Amino acid sequence: MDFGFTEEQLMIQDVARRIAREKIAPSAEHFDRTGEFPAENIKLLGENGLMGIEVPTEYGGAGMDPTSYALAIMEIAEADCAHSTIVSVNNSLFCNGILKFGNEDQKQLYVRAIAEGREVGAFALTEPQSGSDATAMRCRAVRQADGSFVINGKKSWITSGPVAKYVVLFAMTDPDKGARGVTAFMIDADKPGFHRGKTEPKLGIRASATCEVEFTDYVADAGEVLGTEGEGFRIAMGVLDAGRIGIAAQAVGLSKAAYKAAIAYAKERKSFGQPIGSFQMVQARIADMKCRLDASEILTLRAAWAKEQTDRNGGRFSTEASVAKLTASESAMFITHGALQIHGGMGYSKEMPLERYFRDAKITEIYEGTSEIQRLVIARNETGIR
């Protein structure tokens, strides 16, 4: 591994930092309070190549590498976690799978629009009764005589569902085969049979719109199958590996924001005639926060590096991705909690962003594989026992 960043990587990081500081950070409180989708900010990110960082230029993206992606997500998340969620889903869960498994027509139709920021994409795997157990899905796609599929069922907790134009959907085409009976489809939200539920009122990342989606006799043409029939579960698991790097980077960026706020406050706030940063218990908390922050960032960059090697040479990077996601997400909870505690009563007030950081941090331990699932992935990969 070489953490000496290239000129191109530093360039995309600088672009992300500039937009994050100038546009996203000043509006973060507004979007968190109102729950509005930040459409103009997302469009701006797309115009600057940040909605398709790893997407080749021939499909409208920036043509960069996984490390560039991680660095950009960290910058955006430091300004606002919700914005980074939208960026992460578009990049890793939507574009990544189509680039790996889609045909040329699918790449041109679906990836280009998302990478350029003209449309928003979504990833529909979770169902009301099946979260971590993805093979228990009830959404059905029944093949017709003409090769098309009729889809019926519900998906829940779909990030960007209320605003997405295109959706990568996973549905059961052969229930008797379990995981081998899942197929991935490209869905156009404007076609008949696609219905959006109410936008979920969430604890955090409130600017990232989430809803349930339902399919009622939705017809997907044979050309809208992503990959091959029965390959859906493998596609989903591979895409989630990449997505976990994005969530790890998000957790790192959020942790940086909370940590910097804690350091500044520890220097400024005085108690008993001296800065609270001079008290040993505050110092111990800061030291622990710093160790976890640095470990999370290094492990996230290692996972991005591992993905780059895999993209070139084949193989898997699931262990590195899960280690990064688990460490960074649990560290984000630890660091935001510590930062809020250092701020005392002011940290609990909506006059400061600490309470938003704390609310936003929790979801990083849940979506794209809970902490419990990450531990299972890591242990099974290490022992070989399933």
Hey, which residues are catalytic here? 368
Distances (CA, A) of 238 to 73, 114, 218: 20, 20, 26
Answer whether 151's CB lies under 8 Å from 190's CB. Answer: no
What is the β-pairing status of strands 121-124 and 166-172?
A: parallel
Burial 91-121 (b: 16+ CB within 10 A, else e): bbbbbbbbbebbeeebbebbbbbbbbbebbb
First to last CA, the chain: 30
Distances (CA, A) of 235 to 98, 125, 170, 207, 230: 9, 11, 9, 28, 10
Structure tokens at 48: 């600057």
Distances (CA, A) of 260 to 110, 230, 255, 265, 333: 39, 47, 8, 9, 15
Answer whether 156's CB lies under 8 Å from 208's CB. Answer: no
